[in-house]
A and B are shown apart, each in its own frame.
Chain A
Amino acid sequence: MERAEIESKLNELLVEELGLDADKITPDARFEEDLEVDSLGVVELLMALEDNFGVQIPDEEAETIGTVSQAVDLVVAKLNG
């Protein structure tokens, strides 16, 4: 899967599964500070990534996700790794 494809799929998940405002989603947007995703929301994000991209994200790797682009990076690395 191409990075652009992953990015657009992720943006879709953020709107549909986490109920985020599409206008606020940018690559640099921080989940907690800018998008106001709470701790349970982060877990929902991880579950959505795992379910939709077929990857497994252990807790220690989950901690590297701060922004939208970092989430894309992790999925790209997982799919290519």
Chain B
Amino acid sequence: MSSVALVTGASRGIGRAIALRLAAEGFAVGVNYASSSEKADAVVAEIVASGGNAFAVQADVADADAVTAMFASVVDALGPVEVLVNNAGITDDGLLLRMSAEQWDSVVNTNLRSVFLCTKAALRSMLRARTGRVINISSVSGISGNPGQGNYAASKAGIVGFTKSIAKEVGSRGITVNAIAPGFIQTDMTEALGGEVIEAASEHIALGRLGLPEEVASAVSYLASEGASYITGQTIVVDGGLAL
């Protein structure tokens, strides 16, 4: 039976690329989505068409009960989760003086509370198995900061501290916890920024271009692989040299 990976926010963008990549490597993949059921079904169909195994599962990952139900249905359909990729994330940008508490809460809850809830749920079976991989998708925004993204950057920096702490908590049980901090990647999220912002940002990227979701997925694939067995608590920056 193949190993099971669960990717949150996997219906599009980076999450979609991660789900496809892990499936191509033989993982049975839980494809979590919040609202884009058609897109999640398309990801599953693409995986199945290539001979893989995948399962779409709806859940608001910031909601504790929904996360519990999501894990129960993934375990039922595919088996215990061995690789958890906490990818689900949203932006709701605004300069701090104009940012509402609701904007803060929704971004921090979706991006950070979800990581707490999903990791906690996944660790139960990982502890029992004495093995497991947790891979959290942070952001360069959480490392360098970004004006207009006080909420987003705080949630993504929070992921880095969480990653290090939990890596220390569960390392003795053979479980690794790492983060990946993508820079500007071609997704709906960056497209929303508009051509001018993207052009200006590209000037600060050493490689002179935006990254592809697949280039983030390959770092996830590495952290999920046997080759990364001695790496934990780390944040790998995948940004083409933006944060240098």
Chain A nearest Cβ from B107, distance in angstroms: 30
Docked Cα-Cα span, A44 to B130, in Å, equals 12
Which residue in A17, A19, A40, A47 is a CB contact (below 8 Å) of B170?
A: A40
CB-nearest residue of chain B relative to A48? B128
Q: Which of B83-136 contact A (CB under 8 A)?
A: 124, 127-128, 130
> In the complex, are the beta carbons of A40 and B124 less than 8 A apart?
no
> In the complex, are the beta carbons of B128 and A17 less than 8 A apart?
yes
Binary contact readout A44-68 vs B (1 if CB under 8 angstroms, 0 otherwise): 1001000000000000000000000
> In the complex, are the beta carbons of A38 and B172 less than 8 A apart?
yes
Docked Cα-Cα span, A38 to B170, in Å, equals 11
Contacts of B128 in A (CB 8 A): 17, 44
Contacts of B169 in A (CB 8 A): 40
Q: Does any Cβ of A come within 8 Å of B204's Cβ? A: no
> In the complex, are the beta carbons of B124 and A47 less than 8 A apart?
yes
Contacts of A38 in B (CB 8 A): 172
Chain B nearest Cβ from A78, distance in angstroms: 20
Interface size on A (CB < 8 Å)? 6
CB-nearest residue of chain A relative to B170? A40
Q: Which of B194-241 contact A (CB under 8 A)?
A: none
Docked Cα-Cα span, A47 to B121, in Å, equals 12
Docked Cα-Cα span, A19 to B130, in Å, equals 10
Contacts of B173 in A (CB 8 A): 40
Most chain B CB inside 10 Å of its own CB: which residue of A19, A38, A40, A44:
A40
Chain B nearest Cβ from A27, distance in angstroms: 25
> In the complex, are the beta carbons of B127 and A44 less than 8 A apart?
yes
Contacts of B130 in A (CB 8 A): 19
Chain B nearest Cβ from A42, distance in angstroms: 12
Contacts of A17 in B (CB 8 A): 128
Chain A nearest Cβ from B87, distance in angstroms: 26
Contacts of B127 in A (CB 8 A): 40, 44, 47
Binary contact readout B165-182 vs A (1 if CB under 8 angstroms, 0 otherwise): 000011011000000000
CB within 8 Å of A: which residues of B? 124, 127-128, 130, 169-170, 172-173
Closest 9 CB pairs of A and B: A44-B127, A47-B124, A17-B128, A40-B169, A40-B172, A40-B173, A40-B170, A38-B172, A40-B127
CB within 8 Å of B: which residues of A? 17, 19, 38, 40, 44, 47
Q: List 12 A-B contacts (CB under 8 A).
A: A17-B128, A19-B130, A38-B172, A40-B127, A40-B169, A40-B170, A40-B172, A40-B173, A44-B127, A44-B128, A47-B124, A47-B127
